[in-house]
Structures are given as C-alpha cells and as structure tokens.
Structure 1
Amino acid sequence: MLSIFDQGPFAPCPSPFNLAAHVLRHSARLAGKTALSVLDGGASADWSYARLEAAVRGTGTGLLRAGLVPGDIVLMRLGNTVEFPIAYLGAIAAGLVPVPTSAQLTETETARMIAELRPAAVLRDPSVACASHPRQISTAELLEMHGLPPCGYAAGDPERLAYVVYTSGTSGKPRAVAHAHRAVWARQMMVEGWYGLTEDDRLLHAGAFNWTYTLGTGLMDPWAAGATALIPAPGTAPQDLPALLQRHRATIFAAAPGVYRKFLKGSALELPELRHGLCAGEKLSRHLHEAWQAAAGCGLYEAFGMSECSTFISSSPSHPAQDGSLGQPQPGRKVAIVGAEGPVPIGEEGTIAIHRADPGLMLGYLNAPEETAARYQGDWFLTGDQGAMSADGQIRYLGRSDDMMNAGGYRVSPIEVETALAAHPGITQAGAAAVEVKEDTYIIAAFYTGPEELKTDELQAFASRRLARYKQPRAYVHLDALPTGANGKLLRRALPALFKG
C-alpha cells in the first residue's frame, strides 16, 4: 500500500469567478452583522459586512480611477491597519494583482521586488520603508476611496492570476509565488479539515493585519463563512490576549506557536466560550500542546502549509491528530509521501508532496518556469518537508530536507542572511542557523570568521539596513573557522552545536 491520501477531489471552482466576490459573498444577506472588530482593551472599532464591502468596492473604483487597469500589479507597502485587507480585496475586486508584503522589509529588499515585479503602482504608508517608485498611492488617498461608488467585481477564468506573495527561497533569493483566483475556493477545504468554523463563530487572530497568515485565516476565511473576525489593535501584548478572548467572547483563537508560548504560564485560563485554538507557522511541540490543553481545557489544532499552497494537512475537532502527528490531509486534497521513484510504501519516510491538480496550489513562481518545474516530480509538487504516512492518513513531520530556518512563523533562507552579512568588510565567511535558546524557543544565529571579533551592535546595525527584522540574527558568534565537509562546503547543520548561549 502506497503513501497516497486521496478521497476524491473537492468541488470544482465555478466560472466566471472573482476571489474578492467569494470572500464577501454573504455581505448582502448579513449587511448589518459585524464582520470585523478591531479590539483595543475593552473597546472595539466595528465594521459591518455592508460597510466592509462598500469600502472594498469603493477602493476598487478609486484604484481604477487612478489610472490602473485590470491585470496591473500593485505592490502593497502598508502598515498594520485595516487598510491592508481592504486595499488587498479592493484591488482584486477590480481585477488588479496585489502583492502583499511585510512592513518589516527594508528599502533594499523592496528595491529588488520593484525591479522584478515592475508594479504599476505602490500602495504606500509613508511610515513603511520602500524604494522609490514613480506612482505611489498613499493611505490618505486609499481612505478617501472608501466612499466612492462600488466597482463591479471583475469576474473571469478562476485560473487567472489573482495575487502574488513572496517566500524565502532555498537559493537565498526571495521568490514571487503567483496564485490564481481559485486559491480562495480551495480554502473551503480548511473549514472542516482544520477550523471547524461556522457562521456563528467569533475568530480572534493574534497576528497583524499585514501578515498573510492573518489575512487568510484571520480575515478572509471568517468573512467567506459569514463569521466575525476579531483582530487585536496594533501594539497588543501577548499577555493581554487571554483577557481579550474572554471580554470579546471569542469562540476560536488562532496564532503562531510563539504567541501561545508567551502567554501560557501554566495558570488556568477562564475562557468559557472558546471552543478551540488553531496553530500554524511552525511545528507545534508536544510540550506546548499539553500546556495549552491544561490551561484552556480545550483542543489546539495544528496545520501544515506553505506560501505555495497555504495549509493542506491539519488536525481538527472532527479529526484530532494521533500520536504527535500533524494530522491528515484535508478532505478533497490528494497528498503523498514521495521518494526517488514516486510514492513510497505506507510508513516509509519521504518528501511530503501535493498533487498538481490541487486548486490551492500556486500557478508557479512568477516569470520563473524552470524554477517552477524543478519543484515537481511528475504530478507531485515537492514541499521540501519530510514526513511519513500511516495507514489512516496521519502524517508525522520529520523536518526539512534543506537548511531553511523558521523565525516566528516566517521561513527564512540562511543563504539570504549569509549573503547580506558577507558584504561586511570585517567578515570573511558567514553561516546562519536556527538555534534553540530555551525549550521550544528558537532564534536565528549568525556564525562568522574574520580578522577579529566584531561588536554585536555594529553587526545588528549592518543587518538592519539589509534584512527585514524577522530575518535578522539575534546572536552573533565569531569563530576561527566554520565547519565544512570534505568538499569545502559549509555544514550548516553543524552550526547549532557551536552556539554557546
């Protein structure tokens, strides 16, 4: 028996189709219902479904009036405000192609993106770093668009390009991942396979508006289900989240494992209306899972995914994980564990792979057909993550097949970090690796050689000009030589053992 999970395909995406129209499909029926509450202590700023859709479609009109035309790419350099999801959906509603990016990126990093994407415009919060571009649309202009007449939803082939996201590549160069409108249709498989989400739920996501994890799990998926999304105001500390969950009657909580770690101190949490928690971004440890269940008294369900295909393996209220596994592929997915000759027998280790027919899978890397083709083995898209499948479809996670690091839910290429540091005149060679500083807590550490040990604050300042904050090392270790193999190649997996706290 081979390691293939296949219970039949999900319902095909209708055509013509528009991603934003699907997300806001309940707006007319639920016009007066709260779609979004931005939580600030005991207060909240509420958006009804009617107000939300009006702002989205008004923004679509404003972007078209600004001279943009369907198919144009727009780079998003916006802050942690509600303007981020509204501009994102407004662009898609009008047929434009938004590229959401982290506000932590530096001017240097955005310059490379602008050169690659050649966007028609940049949606820009003046406080967010960005390289120069001749057409920048400010947040003040975006706010004025909310009151404009609604644009029509630009419907068409669900296979056409809808949006682009960036992911760190194993080559060290961030890759532009192109997604079709159908990607949001595929997210419905997550509703039963992970969320257990209903129209009556109030889902609180602990992430920022301008994080793609929040954008999907915290906003678009609740709206597509007719539920209410709860987002903490910028600056909310993790230790304040339990009080927000209780005060605002959250029924589902979603966050990266690091957030759970920061507010779980072993004491019981009084959350009578919370049904369960959701977790994604990095592997959930058994210790953290047990700590949550002891404190909250309800389940915590993990999901595995990536920028190229969102989440497609998960545990859920109806299908809990067994024996520390990730869970199983969501109903409608076709997933395999693949070896050199194809799917391996049940129980054997291999690469987690998803079938090319999955509606949530990317169109490809933008303008990089050869790099896209290299990720496939026949009909299987290779994730680069290793696993093993049991007879009932449960998948154990066994780590990465490369040296990719995880920093607070973001995958970071060590090569990108090393390349940035190697430009320092006092460094002759650099290596980067994730190191464990305490149980379940990892940071990026940089190891380097050079004539002499450099001051940490100097290196931090140097890195801050070239790398987004989440990519920057939190520790620097000077060595006489970096570990190498017989061929002289850097052995990154040997670096953590050289870290001394």
Structure 2
Amino acid sequence: MQPCPAPFNLADHVLSAGRDTPDKIALAVLGPTRAERWSFARLEAAVRAVAGGLLALGLTPGAHILLRLGNTPEFPIAFLGCVAAGLIPVPTAEGLTQPELDKLTPLVAPKTILAAPGLALPTSPPCPVLTDLTALMGHAPADYVMGSPDRLAYLVFTSGSSGTPKPVAHAHRAIWARQMMWAGWYGLRQDDRMLHAGAFNWTFTLGTGLLDPWAIGATALIPAPGTPPEALALLLRRHDATLFAAAPGVFRKLLAGDAPLPLPTLRHALAAGEKLPEALRSRWQAATGTTIHEALGMSECSTFVSGSPVRPAPEGTLGYPQPGRRVAVVTPDGAEVAPGETGILAIHRSDPGLMLGYLRQDGPALPLSGDWFLTGDLVSAEPDGALSYHGRRDDLMTTGGFRVSPLEVEAAFQTAPGLIDCAAAPVEVKTDTTVIALAHVGDATEAALRALAEARLARYKQPRLYIALPALPRSANGKLDRRALAHLLKDRT
C-alpha cells in the first residue's frame, strides 16, 4: 500500500470521506422502537466542537484523556475529538470496577477524565472529571492538529487475559494501515451498512464497527445499550444491514434455535475476538445462506490474517496474511521455522499498523525478537500460504508431559447433540497432577461427550473431567475469559 501521507491526523482521515455526502447517515444507534441517527455533517461538527472545548480548558496536545463512557454516540465523538485536537484518548471498558481503575489509571497519568454519569471512577481521580459532554459539543470548532503520522494518537489497554492489562500506544498511521483490511477481510464498500454487536470501547468495535465504515463513507449501525443478542436478527433485517460483525459467542446465541435465519440484505458476516469453531461457521451458513469471514488480530496490531470474499479461508484455517502485511512463523528467538512447522506468528516491525509499543514512563517501548514482534499465537503455514491456528502460546495445557491446545479439544465436541457451548481448561486435581477438564453448557450428556472424545481425540487429549455450567464466563462482547474459567473449574473440583 502507499505510505501514509504527511502531515496527517487520524480523525481528519476518518471523517474526510463523509464530506462528499454530508447528509448521509454515518451512525445509527438502534433501539427497540427507534434509532438515533447522526449524519456525517453532524458527526464532524460535534467532533470538532469537542476538540475546541477540550483545548479551551487549557489542555495541550499530547495530554492523556481517560474515557469512561458507555455505548452511546458520545464515545466515538469524544475519541475523535481528542485525536482531532492532538490529545491522547484512552478508552476503557464500561464495566471496569473502581479497584480495576485504581490499578490502570496511574499507568496512563490522565490530565482529564471524560465520564458518563453512573460509571465507576478511580477512588481518588488524579485530575478533573468532566461529565457534561453536551457543553463541549456546543463549543466553537477547532481545526485538526496535523503532524507526523508516526506520532502518538491514542492508547488502548490489552485485554489482560494473560495478566495485568498493558497500555498499548498507537500512532496516527494506524488508521491508514487499516485499509489493508477493507479488501483483505471485509470487502468493504461505500454503500455498506455495517452492524457491529460489540461495545464501542472494544477495539474490534471501534475499528471495524465505526472508524473503518466512516473512513470509506459507509454507515455504522450499533445496537442500543441493553439489546439482547436474540434481537440482533430483527435489527439486521429491519435496518438493511449488509455486513455483520461480532465475536463467535454472539453468533452462537443467534443460532440457539434450529430455524432458518433469513437476512435478505446481508452479504456476509465478520468474526474476530477468539477462534471461530468450524461447526459454528457451518451452522451460520446453513441458517442464513451467508459466509462468516474470520480474522485474527490483537490490540497491538488490530487484524492482519483473515479470509475475505475474494479469497475465502480454506476449511480449518484462519485465512491468509492481508495484502501488504509482512508476517512470518518464527521460533521464540525470531528465526523462521521450516514450512509446515508450528511456530509463533510474528509481525515485522515495518508494518504501519503495528503499535509504537507498550507505554512506559519514558515513552513507548516495542518488544522485538530481531525485527519481529511476537504475537504469542501459534500457527503453521499450509502450502498455499494459509495459516492454521493452534491457540495462544500461553493457553496451551500441559498434561502427562504433553502440550495440548484447548482449541483442538473443543473442536471435537462442536457437533455434540444438545451442546450450546464448551471450553477446555487444565485443572490441578492434586499436587503435581493436572488433567484436562471440559466445561459444557446445554443438554449434552457426559456419556455422549466422552464417546465423542474417545472417537476423535488421542487419549492424552481427552478430558478427564466434564463439568456442566449454566454459562461460560464471557466478556460483554462474547469473548471467552479463559483465566476466569480456570478459576471457576478449580472451585468446582
């Protein structure tokens, strides 16, 4: 792809396409009886007004602004308003508790907190807290602060699934790099209507659900807060969605019944956040007549491997590196593995979508092994270049001296009658003895599950414990929390 132009501002780039169609709907927040709609002209006016209001408070470019906002239009307006003004927004999940915020806030040292009423705040906020964004939206507009595309634009926290969340520093150029996803994953068009089922403050929603559609001049559709997953099919039909994006857990809930799921305007769906089971993809195809294209990504680089309408992923694989990406399969010391061998998926330091680094007091630091950033995802390359996924390096289970991927275990049960959801995790049953446990949701019997395991898995991969649960621990966006699952199963044994 072409290098990012300079000078550059992420917010200016996101909103520039909409200037050609100022009256077109940029954002619709879909409620049960009505939708709140924002045109491109109204959206940009609000973004520039917020930028002006923040600068009028005496904040200077480079200051960190903690966002404690919910799933309302104020969130993307505040995010882009900060970026437009050269300030550094730090989105946070709506459901974070006060103790969690007490740990995270010092890591980013905010100068101001923009907060929605009722959301948790740090115990002793280290800076002013603003709760009236309406007043900011009434301010005189500011011009976009232009500069190097390599300068810091925003901070996001990692999920913390393998430990304490870390602040990830992204440059303005990150939005330019996302164009590699438009053809390499979405098949995104200006006339699209993208419905995303996640919360605004999730990087998957922020990028795929909002910023990318706006950057091409398309419409973003977001369910109103509190919308149950079961209502999404009606919203997809009622609002003529052409693309639908969600975590696999949301697709699973939409397919809870066996009836067809007619979605006449939908071209295809998009999944990310965790590995999509092949059985779930097949069930979606049967119910809707459309395909799910999956992508692998992370907070540090968004998505970079995917299937797409023009190059679907071969069955059982993630798909291909997106055109323009430079990735490799390497050893822990950064040496490329032999073709077909399993190794760590790595991103070259030159990728324009790669983070500046993890924020430290002295600035961002990018951990590298040679010229490669190691993602922690284990993959192997097929002869045609497609990548097969073998799980997270830190998720592998060790039992009887063998290393086992939970994904391989879980895949064996996806067709079990009556099974709604399942996940595998290691459980220590006594000192120095760890076994594989399968947590399962639904009406599948233990006998039926054991029979499937014996037929499809080597003995060392078979679960020794089968634990029925009312639901698996998942985030608000449907992503499985493996750390919480491991604690839950330990308490049950």
TM, length-normalised to structure 2 = 0.81
Match in the other structure for 2:55: 64
For structure 2, which runs of at least 5 residues remain unmatched after alignment?
398-405, 407-424, 426-433, 445-472, 474-479
Distance 1:123 1:22, change over 3 A: same
Once the two structures are superposed, the pairs formed by residues 193-272 of structure 1 within 5 Å of their partners are 193-264=184-255, 265-272=257-264
Cross-structure match for 1:188: 179
Match of 2:322 in 1: 330
1:93-492 alignment, distance < 5 Å? 93-131=84-122, 132-140=124-132, 142-168=133-159, 172-264=163-255, 265-339=257-331, 340=333, 342-367=335-360, 372=365, 375-403=367-395, 436-438=439-441, 473=484
- Please report how far the alpha carbon of residue 86 of structure 1 lies from its aligned counterpart in structure 2 after TM superposition: 0.5
Shift of 1:108: 1.4
C-alpha spacing 1:92/1:298, structure 2 compared with 1 (3 Å): same
Q: Which amino acid aligns with 2:36?
A: A
Output the amino acid matched with 1:356.
R
Instruction: Measure the CA separation in 1 of the matches of 2:131 and 2:289.
Output: 42
CA distance in 2, matches of 1:434, 1:262: 23
Distance 1:371 1:182, change over 3 A: closer
Deviations 1:414-454 (CA, angstroms, capped at 9, x unpaired) = 9xxxxxxxxxxxxxxxx9x9963248x9xxxxxxxxxxxxx
Does the CA-based 8 Å contact 1:83-1:139 persist in structure 2? no
Q: Contact conserved, 1:203 with 1:228, CA < 8 A, in 2?
A: yes
CA shift at 1:126, angstroms? 2.7
CA distance in 1, matches of 2:217, 2:364: 38
Secondary structure in structure 2 of the residue aligned to 1:258 = helix
Deviation string 1:72-93 (CA, Å, 9 cap, x unpaired) is 0011111221111110000000
Once the two structures are TM-superposed, the CA of residue 54 in structure 1 deviates from its matched residue by 0.4
Counting only pairs closer than 5 Å after superposition, residues 23-42 of structure 1 correspond to structure 2 as: 23-42=14-33
Q: Deviations over 1:225-263 (max 9, x none)?
A: 100000111111111111110010000000110100011
Most deviating of 161-170 and 59-68: 161-170
SS at match of 2:376: strand
Shift of 1:134: 4.7
* Secondary structure, counterpart of 2:205 in structure 1: helix
Q: Distance in 1 between matches of 2:268 and 2:437?
A: 30
Does the 8 A contact of 1:81 with 1:210 survive in 2? Answer: no
Between the aligned partners of 1:371 and 1:400, the Cα distance in structure 2 is 24
CA distance in 1, matches of 2:260, 2:161: 41
Conserved? CA contact 1:170–1:404, under 8 Å: no
CA contact (8 A) 1:202 1:252 kept: yes
**Paired residues of 1:257 and 1:284 also in contact (CA < 8 A):** yes
CA deviation string 1:147-184 (max 9, x = no partner): 32221111100010000111145872221110100000
Indicate the SS of the match to 1:91.
helix
Q: Note if contact 1:17-1:157 (Cα within 8 Å) is conserved in structure 2.
A: yes
Separation in structure 1 between the aligned mates of residue 220 and residue 6 of structure 2, nearest angstrom:
28
Instruction: Give the direction of change, closer, same or farther, for the CA distance of 1:182–1:222 in structure 2 (3 Å limit).
Output: same
Query: Aligned partners of 2:65, 2:438: CA distance in 1, in Å?
Result: 37
Note the residue ranges of structure 1 that are not aligned, 5 or more in a row. Answer: 1-9, 407-413, 415-430, 442-459, 461-468, 478-495
Q: What does residue 455 of structure 2 align with?
A: none
Deviations 1:331-358 (A, max 9, x none): 1001111024611122111000111100
CA distance in 1, matches of 2:39, 2:59: 28
How many residue pairs are counted as aligned between the two chains? 428
Q: Which whole-Å deviations, capped at 9, do the CAs of 1:457-479 have from their partners, x for residues lacking one?
A: xxx9xxxxxxxx979846866xx
SS class of match (2:18):
coil
For 2:19, what is the secondary structure of its paired residue?
coil
Mapped contact 2:84–2:144 kept (Cα < 8 A): yes
Shift of 1:11: 1.3
For the aligned residues, what is the CA RMSD? 3.2
Contact 2:157-2:167 within 8 A present in 1 as well: yes
Q: Is the partner of 1:25 in helix, strand or coil?
A: helix
